[in-house]
Amino acid sequence: MSSQGDAAAEQDSDAVGPCTETDVTIGDIITVTIGATVPTGFEHTAAEEVKEKIGVDARISKDRGRIYFPITTDKLFQVHLLRSVDNLFVVVEEFDHYQFKQSKEDTLMELQQLASKLPWTNALEVWKQNGALKKKKSHRRGGNTTKVKPNNEAGDEVVADSEQQEQSEVLTAAEGQSKPEGTPDSETREQEAQEAAPEAKVIKFRVTCSRAGDKHSFSSNEAARDFGGAVQEFFQWKADMTKFDIEVLLNIHNEEVVIGIALTEESLHRRNISHFGPTTLRSTLCYGMLRLCKPQASDIILDPMCGTGAIPLEGAIEFNSAFYIAGDNNDMAVNRTVNNICHIQKRRADKGSHPGLPIDTVRWDLSNLPIRTSSVDIIITDMPFGKRMGSKKKNWDLYPSCLREMARVCRPGSGKAVLLTQDKKCFSKAISRMGGLWRKLHTVWVNVGGLHAGVYLLKRTTAVFGQTPEDVYESQGKVDDKDDSQHS
């Protein structure tokens, strides 16, 4: 396995001492390994995008939902333009088979000792350059300008443990001193000279530990606390849980250990949506679904259950040579979609870009779409799981009805559908009932808010709508239902 050592094997790991925000010069081009978290199940899609847009091969981690790839820092801005990644970090060091000690005490002691032995230099340089990139785009979120009262108990650590199932996130924090910003007067200069403290502000940090595996003698809480304490002592940084400058990541997956520094403060999946609904999809998952169906120029792409419009919005921005129709039977959902489109258009106009998007929004009845037969190239939607929206009982009638109406409007022979659902049993039954109209090509298993769901890629058969045995059966069933309701 390649590691940060590829880029920094020859440097002295002890060469990095206490670091302030002015220590590292910006502009040197170096090669580093970037790690990215991606929607689980779409690792290969993310690797394809990295190859396509940055021109390097990405390695998929054993720990699902992560990829790694090398870059030179002059291409750092391109990494932030990737559409399939949630969070980015630069790798400090990675261990493929980390041999943890048997006892908890020995393991934690080793983690403490590890902090001072890691090759931090290149990762800190990338963090520097990344900060300069973000300042060009907008001001940093957080508390860089917040003044903190002096506190003599700078060494005390407060740890928040949010361990859930196998994966955990833990933060180490301590209140520390922060010199007020601004131009110091002569008295302040004299005091600084006496204390040999330069104008540079001491960095504030936190450690986040993510752990998976059942053979560890320690908790995420303990690992973050001890490793974070050693980082604090080594760099003389001040720990702060909320207003931090640097987030150090300690990712442990069985024997795989990766130490990194975060390059994103907020997940990139929130990039398009300003008006959220109860089941709003992550933009990164939407992008993965769109790539599955490979949109072409002039394609008509339909989302018949658009919710907040996350899928068609992502498509209209990234695959903008197609045209998107977003519809829903819920007034609130349609309004949210319209508001999200307006938000993107305003943001574009404010930046001086052309605000127009190839998208339109309609309120409709899903089982009777106001769309001409065989006129849509791609249907892509998030179907109701029957948990937060709808019910599993209703899905047994809804899914076949949806698939039939989708088959009507989709082009025979060339049309495709990408459908997301967690109600796998009901969907499989509906597909078998509509077998003459749809053929299943591929399934991607994904994690959606902790639920195991499937993204199904379907191909529209060449069968003419209304003439397959399934069509005759379904349409006859509807007629019988109408007759029964009239006689009752």
Domain assignments of the chain as residue spans, ordered by start: 5-134+148-268, 282-487
- Distances from the Cα of 91 to the Cαs of 4, 88, 129, 248, 478, in angstroms? 6, 10, 15, 10, 59
pLDDT at 482: 46
Per the CB < 8 A criterion, the answer to whether 116 and 230 are in contact is yes
Q: Where are the beta strands (DSSP E) in 170-245?
A: 170-173, 204-212, 238-239
CA dihedral 137, 142, 145, 146 (to 10 degrees): 170
* pLDDT for residue 187 is more than 90: no
Tens of pLDDT, residues 266-280: 887 778 878 777 768
- Distances from the Cα of 472 to the Cαs of 401, 409, 415, 465, 477, in angstroms? 13, 17, 21, 10, 8
Residues 71, 78: Cα–Cα separation, whole Å: 10
DSSP for 400-460, please give it: HHHHHHHHHHBPTTT-EEEEEES-HHHHHHHHHHTTTTEEEEEEEEEEETTEEEEEEEEEE
pLDDT at 340: 94
pLDDT band at 155 (very low <50, low <70, confident <90, very high): very low
pLDDT at 477: 52
Residue type, 10: E
pLDDT band at 27 (very low <50, low <70, confident <90, very high): low
The residue behind tokens 């007034």 is 331
When pLDDT is averaged across residues 440-453 and rounded to a whole number, the result is 91
pLDDT at 207: 96
Residues 378, 295: Cα–Cα separation, whole Å: 8
* pLDDT for residue 4 is more than 50: no
Report the 10 Å Cβ neighbour count for 18: 12
pLDDT at 153: 33
Residues 6+ apart with CB under 8 A from 73: 28, 29, 30, 31, 32, 125, 126, 129
Q: Of the segments 102-111, 143-152, 190-199, which one has the largest average pLDDT value?
A: 102-111
Per the CB < 8 A criterion, the answer to whether 43 and 288 are in contact is no
Fold of 5-134+148-268: VC0802-like (3.30.2130)
Distance of CA 307 to the CA centre of its chain: 19
pLDDT band at 237 (very low <50, low <70, confident <90, very high): very high
109-113, 428-432, 469-473: segment of lowest average pLDDT:
469-473
- The verdict on domain 282-487 having CATH code 3.40.50.150 is yes
Mean pLDDT, rounded, of the chain: 80
111-120, 254-263, 306-315, 445-454: segment of lowest average pLDDT:
445-454
Residues 6+ apart with CB under 8 A from 155: 174
pLDDT band at 151 (very low <50, low <70, confident <90, very high): very low
Per the CB < 8 A criterion, the answer to whether 92 and 259 are in contact is yes
Per the CB < 8 A criterion, the answer to whether 270 and 83 are in contact is no
Residues 152, 466: Cα–Cα separation, whole Å: 79
pLDDT at 37: 95
Q: Is the dihedral of CA 473, 300, 308, 421 positive or negative?
A: positive
pLDDT at 173: 37
The residue behind tokens 């967690």 is 422
pLDDT band at 22 (very low <50, low <70, confident <90, very high): very low
Per the CB < 8 A criterion, the answer to whether 355 and 348 are in contact is yes
Report the 10 Å Cβ neighbour count for 451: 11
When pLDDT is averaged across residues 76-105 and rounded to a whole number, the result is 93
pLDDT at 138: 53
Q: How many residues does the chain have?
A: 488
* pLDDT for residue 170 is more than 90: no
Tens of pLDDT, residues 258-312: 999 999 988 877 788 787 777 688 999 999 999 999 999 999 999 999 999 999 9
SS3 content of the chain, % helix, strand, coil (to 5): 35, 25, 40
Q: Of the segments 345-349, 386-390, 397-401, which one has the largest average pLDDT value?
A: 345-349
284-298, 364-378, 454-468: segment of lowest average pLDDT:
454-468
* pLDDT for residue 391 is more than 50: yes
CATH topology identical between 5-134+148-268 and 282-487: no
Residues 81, 78: Cα–Cα separation, whole Å: 5
Per the CB < 8 A criterion, the answer to whether 430 and 405 are in contact is no
pLDDT at 267: 81
Element at 276 (helix H, strand E):
none
When pLDDT is averaged across residues 103-116 and rounded to a whole number, the result is 94
Q: Which of 44, 93, 51, 83 is nearest to 67 (CA)?
A: 44
* pLDDT for residue 169 is more than 80: no
Paired strand residues for 33: 70
Bigger pLDDT: 39 or 467? 39
Element at 265 (helix H, strand E):
none
- Distances from the Cα of 476 to the Cαs of 82, 312, 400, 473, in angstroms? 49, 34, 14, 5
Q: Which of 202, 139, 141 is nearest to 175 (CA)?
A: 202
When pLDDT is averaged across residues 191-219 and rounded to a whole number, the result is 76
- Distances from the Cα of 82 to the Cαs of 43, 116, 276, 286, in angstroms? 13, 33, 22, 13
When pLDDT is averaged across residues 74-89 and rounded to a whole number, the result is 94
Tens of pLDDT, residues 128-140: 999 888 776 654 4
Residue percentage of the chain with pLDDT more than 90: 58
Per the CB < 8 A criterion, the answer to whether 367 and 475 are in contact is no
* pLDDT for residue 142 is more than 50: no
Tens of pLDDT, residues 399-445: 998 999 999 999 999 999 999 998 888 999 999 888 889 999 999 99
Report the predicted TM-score, pTM, of the whole model to 2 decimal places: 0.76
Paired strand residues for 458: 417, 440
pLDDT at 145: 40
When pLDDT is averaged across residues 57-86 and rounded to a whole number, the result is 93
Tell me the HSE value of 95 on the side-chain side, using a 13 A CA sphere.
Answer: 16
pLDDT at 133: 83
